[in-house]
Amino acid sequence: MLHVELREAGFEPWQYLAEWQRQQIPAATARSGAAAVFVGTMRDFNEGDDVVEMYLEHYPGMTERQLESIAAEAIQTWSLDDVCIVHRVGEIHPADAIVLVAVWSAHRAEAFTACRHIMEVLKHQAPFWKQEKLATGSARWVEKNTQG
Amino acid sequence: MLHVELREAGFEPWQYLAEWQRQQIPAATARSGAAAVFVGTMRDFNEGDDVVEMYLEHYPGMTERQLESIAAEAIQTWSLDDVCIVHRVGEIHPADAIVLVAVWSAHRAEAFTACRHIMEVLKHQAPFWKQEKLATGSARWVEKNTQG
Amino acid sequence: MSVKVLFFASLRERLGRSEMLLDSNSALSVREVWEQGSGEASLPANVLVSVNHVYADAETSVKPGDEVAFFPPVTGG
Amino acid sequence: MSVKVLFFASLRERLGRSEMLLDSNSALSVREVWEQGSGEASLPANVLVSVNHVYADAETSVKPGDEVAFFPPVTGG
């Protein structure tokens, strides 16, 4: 199963996963021996400056399509049972969860590898752009992502 | 911060993490940009047989000590902010969470690498032994862990 | 028929436009869409392109009715 | 003084004992603790050992008061 959500509203990633897990049929949970999850959170500093807010621009239509194709490819490659990707858009504040990637599979190697792979591809291909608002009052576009 | 818990009672891993997150001071959450989590769940089959229950034996004292030392070493090696390890002991049923490893750090590479490393070392060094109870009524010790 | 052209993020701000329609009755290359849409001569190496939501390059062919987007390196996650 | 000896899991079942006290007034090697505790001649290669909760090997020295545990390969996680 593949679930992709872009959302403006904040979310608590563990509550989100608890909710998701409740929606699964019990048999499916007993089949997946392994879950690997990544959560990326907004920090209150970057490149030595205090960041008070962030705006996440995206490309409606293409962004969803890219995330779905990244998830679908991972499901194929590693025989995953489920992939769940949640990504914030719009205004974001420090300590907010920005991205959640969760992967379920029969074995741990596939879960770990697929979760990390999805994050790397998302960082390099999914059309999102971060603009930071600094404590000084100025705004700046983040020019590139950190290497994973 | 380092948190290790062995428990006989079942637990819902995402609720557990939501609880843990609530206990952290907000400043700490804003500092950690990345969280990587692994959950291992009991499956209802192994080596072609239906497994109806499992008993997890451990070595009280040494097991806690090993888990703490695995976590402490990972914190040092990858400059982690927090590590949380929860492991079931005693009677376990299919679809129960057996192990939860959660790691918080500034960057995603460290979080992913440390989480996976902790799971591998735990699988090879932490004194736990699984005995499976089969649908046929017989019991058998799991002789070795699968490769990660 | 026309080609819809979109610009995002810092590129949108630099060019001062987010969306435009380019009239065209024949096939164009992405390079030509960039030149006509941005008013700049050559497509910078660090500008990414998609045609109908799929990554493309300067030589990709664009038909009337297509949607072409230009944007800087992505920084999500 | 004595050495506390523990056996776990399938090894505990095979030897039919989980815990014993070995009287000793002098230092022993893990190998000697195994021989006296299990009644078997040589420590099998797939039996793991700890002394006071730390992994050890056949040559590790054991003092009175120490806790020595023998167990099969671990299968947690």
Residue A80 has what pLDDT?
A: 97
Residues of chain B with Cβ-Cβ distance to A38 below 8 Å are 34-37, 108, 111-112
Total number of domains constituting chain B: 1
Residue A29 has what pLDDT?
A: 63
- Please state whether at least 3 CB pairs lie below 8 Å between chains C and D: no
Contact B36 A41 (CB under 8 A): no
Q: Considering the domain boundaries, does residue A147 fall inside one?
A: no
Residue B27 has what pLDDT?
A: 65
Task: Give the distance from residue B100's alpha carbon to the nearest chain A alpha carbon, in angstroms.
Answer: 10
Mean pLDDT score across all residues of chain C: 95
The span from the CA of C7 to the CA of C70, in Å, is: 5
C10 and A CB contact within 8 Å: yes
Whose CA is closest to A130, among A121, A139, A122?
A: A139
Q: Considering the domain boundaries, does residue B53 fall inside one?
A: yes
Strands B2-7, B82-88: pairing is: parallel
Residue B26 has what pLDDT?
A: 67
Q: Considering the domain boundaries, does residue B10 fall inside one?
A: yes
How are strands ordered across the β-sheet holding C54-56? C19-23, C2-7, C67-71, C48-51, C54-56
| The model's pTM | 0.95
Residue A27 has what pLDDT?
A: 65
The span from the CA of A107 to the CA of A14, in Å, is: 21
C46 and A CB contact within 8 Å: no
Q: What is the dihedral of CA D55, D58, D61, D63, to 10 degrees?
A: 80
Range in B29-33, B93-97, B125-129, D25-29 the model is least confident about: B29-33
Residues of chain A with Cβ-Cβ distance to B42 below 8 Å are 30, 33
Q: Considering the domain boundaries, does residue B116 fall inside one?
A: yes
The span from the CA of A44 to the CA of B26, in Å, is: 11
Residue B23 has what pLDDT?
A: 84
Is the separation of the CB atoms in B14 and A14 below 8 Å?
yes
The span from the CA of A129 to the CA of A144, in Å, is: 9
Strands A2-7, A82-88: pairing is: parallel
Tokens, residue B143: 């002789």
Contact C50 A127 (CB under 8 A): yes
Tally C-beta pairs within 8 A across A and B: 113
Residue A100 phi, psi (nearest 5): -130, 125
The span from the CA of D60 to the CA of D57, in Å, is: 5
Nearest CB partner across the interface for B141, out of D10, D69, D76: D10
Q: In which domain, by residue range, is B118 found?
A: 2-141
Tokens, residue D67: 């806790």
pLDDT 10s digits, A39-95 = 999 999 888 899 999 999 999 999 999 999 999 999 999 999 999 999 999 999 999
Band of the pLDDT at B15, cuts 50, 70, 90?
very high
| B21-39 mean pLDDT | 83
Quote ipTM for the complex. 0.94
Q: Considering the domain boundaries, does residue B131 fall inside one?
A: yes
Tokens, residue A35: 């879950």
| C51-74 mean pLDDT | 97
Q: Considering the domain boundaries, does residue A9 fall inside one?
A: yes
Q: Which domains does chain C have, with CATH numbers?
A: 2-71 (3.10.20.30)
> Which domain CATH number covers A17?
3.90.1170.40
Contact B142 D50 (CB under 8 A): no
On the question of pLDDT at A30 being above 80, the answer is no
Q: DSSP characters for A41-104? A: E--SEETTEEEEEEEEEE-TTHHHHHHHHHHHHHHHHHT-SEEEEEEE-EEE-TT-EEEEEEEE
Band of the pLDDT at D21, cuts 50, 70, 90?
very high
On the question of pLDDT at D23 being above 80, the answer is yes
On the question of pLDDT at A38 being above 70, the answer is yes
Band of the pLDDT at B47, cuts 50, 70, 90?
confident
On the question of pLDDT at C24 being above 90, the answer is no
Q: Identify the DSSP state of A137.
A: S
Q: Considering the domain boundaries, does residue A146 fall inside one?
A: no
Chain B residues in contact with chain A using a Cβ-Cβ cutoff of 8 Å = 12-18, 21, 26, 29-44, 94-95, 106-109, 111-112, 115-116, 119, 146-148
Residue B65 has what pLDDT?
A: 98
CA atoms within 13 A on the CB side of C4: 10
Range in A29-38, A57-66, A136-145, B69-78 the model is least confident about: A29-38
- Please state whether at least 3 CB pairs lie below 8 Å between chains A and B: yes
Band of the pLDDT at B30, cuts 50, 70, 90?
low
The span from the CA of C72 to the CA of C63, in Å, is: 23
Q: Which residue of B has its CA nearest to D68?
A: B62
pLDDT 10s digits, D25-53 = 888 999 999 999 999 989 999 999 999 99
The span from the CA of A108 to the CA of D63, in Å, is: 41
Q: Considering the domain boundaries, does residue A82 fall inside one?
A: yes
